[in-house]
C-alpha cells in the first residue's frame, strides 16, 4: 500500500486571524471546521476520521460533542507541535488509503496572542512558556533552569551553530522576513501587513542572539481546518482538489531535547530523512516544485529547511535566499505566499497548508502562475514530515 495519489484536500476553512480575538480554542476550532465543510460541500456529519495535534485542546470527544457525530472510525495525533503540520495530511491520507475512513478532518486552533490566556493550564492560550512548572521532571530540566525557557531561545542556539558552520548572516535572515512580509501585505487575512525592508529587519531588537524580533513567528489567535477525502471522490466536491501526490514523516531530534539535539549529524536527522522518502515516493525533484511552504517559525530554520529538503546544498541556504530568492513572483523558489507564521498568523503551520491548497486552486493573493506542484513541510527541528500537493 502507498499513499501516493490516494487522497486529496477538498475543503479549507479558517477563522479570522488576529493578535487577540478573545475566544476559546474550542470556539475557533468549530468555526474553522464548519468553514472547511462548507468549502468542500460536505456535511460535518460525514466526517468519520480526524487528525489533530497532540497539544490541541479540542480533542475528539469535544469535537463529537459539538458536531453531533455519533462516532469516528479513525483518529490520530501528530506529536510535538509544528513538526506535525504536514504530517497531519500524511496520516489523513494513510487512513483513507487503508480504507479506515472516507472523510478526514485536520484542524488546529490556537489562542496564542500574548494576552489570549483563557485558563490556568499550560495549553490554554497565551505564551505556554510563561507558565512552565517550577519542578521539571521532563527533558526541559536540562536547559530551562539555565534560563533557556522558550522555543525561540532553543532555536537561537541551533541557528547560531548554522552561522558558525556556514557563515549565515543577518542579511540572509532579513531576506526571509522581508519576502514573507511582502506576501502578507498582499494578503488581507494576514495579521502583519506593514511593509518591511532589510533595514527594518536589522533595526528590530535582538531577543536571543542571533534572533531578532522580526526573525520570530508572531503571537496570534485563530483556527484552520482542512478536509481530506479519497482521490476518486475529490472531483465531486465544490472546489478543485489538491491531490496528495506524496507524503513522508520522520522522527529525529527535537529542539526541546536540546542537550541531545547535536548528537545526530544533520543529514541523519528527521527532516533530511523525510526529504529522501518524500522525493522517492513522488518521483519528482525539488526543481519541479512551483511553490514551497516551509515551517517558518524562525527565519534561519527556513534557510536550514531549503538545505534539509534538497532545494540547495548544505550550507547554501543563505546564498539561496539572497536578492529576493523566496519572493513572489520572480524568486528562485517562491515560498510562503500567505506571509507564513512570520507574518500571516502562527497556527502551528496549518495555515501554510491552506495557502498551498489556494495555490493549487489558483486563488492565492500572490498566485504562482500555472502552479501544478506545491511543497509543504512541518518544523524541521521537530519530529516532522512533508507533503507534495498537485493540481
Partner 1 sequence: MMRREAVITRDLPLPLPTLDNREFYAAARRGELCFQRCATCGRFRHYPRPLCPSCLSREFAWERSTGRGTVFTWTIVRGPTLPAFEGNLPYNVVDVVMGEGVHFVSQILDCPPEAIHAGMPVETVFVPVSDEITLVKFRRVRSEDRQSR
CB closer to partner 1 out of 263 and 322: 263
The span of 3-11, 117-125, 170-178, 288-296 binding partner 1 (CB under 8 A) equals: 117-125
Question: Is residue 209 within the footprint of partner 1 (CB under 8 A)?
Answer: yes
Nearest to 223 by CA among 68, 41, 13: 13
CB closer to partner 1 out of 233 and 257: 257
Residues 1-30 that bind partner 1 (CB under 8 A): 22
Nearest to 17 by CA among 351, 365, 354, 380: 351
* Separation CA 74–CA 318 (nearest Å): 42
Question: Is residue 132 within the footprint of partner 1 (CB under 8 A)?
Answer: yes
Question: Is residue 203 within the footprint of partner 1 (CB under 8 A)?
Answer: no
The span of 176-184, 204-212, 232-240, 332-340 binding partner 1 (CB under 8 A) equals: 204-212
Binder among 74, 109, 168, 208 for partner 1 (CB under 8 A): 208
Nearest to 248 by CA among 289, 284, 291, 282: 282
295 close to 176: Cβ distance less than 8 angstroms: no
Residue 82: which residues within 8 A CB-CB, separation 6 or more? 295, 297, 341, 348, 349, 378, 379, 382
The span of 177-185, 188-196, 205-213, 233-241 binding partner 1 (CB under 8 A) equals: 205-213
Question: Is residue 126 within the footprint of partner 1 (CB under 8 A)?
Answer: yes
Other C-beta atoms closer than 10 Å to the C-beta of 49 total: 24
Question: Is residue 259 within the footprint of partner 1 (CB under 8 A)?
Answer: yes
Query: Residues in the chain, how many?
Result: 391
- In DSSP terms, 387 is beta-bridged to 247, 376
CB closer to partner 1 out of 217 and 371: 217
Query: What track of x and - describes contact with partner 1 for positions 165 through 194 (by CB under 8 A)?
Result: ------------------------------
335 close to 329: Cβ distance less than 8 angstroms: no
Beta carbon of residue 224, minimum distance to partner 1 (angstroms, whole number): 24
Residue 54: which residues within 8 A CB-CB, separation 6 or more? 77, 78, 79, 80, 84
- Binding residues for partner 1, per CB under 8 A? 22, 114-115, 117-120, 126, 129-137, 139, 141-150, 153, 156-158, 160-161, 164, 205-211, 257-263
Amino acid at each position: 500500500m502507498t499513499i501516493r495519489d490516494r487522497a486529496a484536500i477538498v475543503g479549507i476553512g479558517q477563522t479570522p486571524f488576529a493578535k487577540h480575538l478573545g475566544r476559546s480554542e474550542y470556539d475557533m476550532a468549530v468555526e474553522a471546521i464548519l468553514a472547511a465543510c462548507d468549502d468542500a460541500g460536505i456535511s460535518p456529519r460525514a466526517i468519520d476520521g480526524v487528525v489533530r495535534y497532540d497539544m490541541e485542546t479540542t480533542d475528539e470527544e469535544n469535537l463529537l460533542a459539538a458536531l453531533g457525530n455519533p462516532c469516528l472510525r479513525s483518529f490520530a495525533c501528530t506529536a510535538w507541535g509544528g513538526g506535525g503540520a504536514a504530517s497531519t495530511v500524511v496520516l489523513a491520507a494513510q487512513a483513507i488509503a487503508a480504507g479506515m475512513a472516507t472523510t478526514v478532518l485536520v484542524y488546529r486552533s490556537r489562542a496564542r496572542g500574548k494576552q489570549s490566556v483563557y485558563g490556568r493550564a499550560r495549553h490554554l492560550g497565551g505564551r505556554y512558556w510563561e507558565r512552565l512548572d517550577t519542578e521539571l521532571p521532563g527533558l526541559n530540566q536540562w536547559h530551562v533552569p539555565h534560563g533557556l525557557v522558550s522555543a525561540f531561545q532553543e532555536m537561537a542556539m541551533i541557528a547560531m551553530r548554522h552561522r558558525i558552520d556556514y557563515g549565515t548572516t543577518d542579511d540572509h535572515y532579513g531576506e526571509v522576513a522581508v519576502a514573507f512580509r511582502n506576501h502578507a501585505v498582499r494578503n488581507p487575512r494576514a495579521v502583519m501587513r506593514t511593509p518591511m525592508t532589510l533595514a527594518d529587519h536589522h533595526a528590530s531588537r535582538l531577543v536571543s542572539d542571533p534572533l531578532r524580533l522580526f526573525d520570530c513567528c508572531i503571537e496570534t489567535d485563530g483556527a484552520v481546518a482542512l478536509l481530506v477525502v479519497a482521490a476518486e471522490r475529490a472531483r465531486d466536491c465544490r472546489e478543485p482538489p489538491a491531490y496528495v501526490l506524496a507524503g513522508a514523516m520522520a522522527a529525529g531530534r527535537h529542539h526541546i531535547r536540546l542537550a541531545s539535539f547535536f548528537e545526530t549529524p544533520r543529514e541523519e536527522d528527521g527532516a533530511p530523512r523525510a526529504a529522501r522518502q518524500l522525493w522517492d515516493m513522488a518521483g519528482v525533484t525539488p526543481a519541479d516544485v512551483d511553490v514551497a511552504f516551509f515551517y517558518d517559525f524562525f527565519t534561519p530554520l527556513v534557510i536550514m529547511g531549503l538545505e534539509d529538503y534538497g532545494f540547495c546544498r548544505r550550507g547554501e541556504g543563505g546564498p539561496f535566499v539572497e536578492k529576493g530568492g523566496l519572493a513572489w513572483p520572480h524568486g528562485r523558489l517562491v515560498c510562503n505566499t500567505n506571509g507564513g507564521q512570520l507574518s500571516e498568523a502562527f497556527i502551528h503551520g496549518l495555515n501554510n497548508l491552506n495557502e498551498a491548497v489556494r495555490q493549487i486552486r489558483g486563488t492565492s493573493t500572490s498566485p504562482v502562475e500555472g502552479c501544478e506542484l506545491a511543497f509543504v513541510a512541518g518544523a524541521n527541528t521537530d519530529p516532522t514530515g512533508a507533503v507534495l500537493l498537485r493540481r
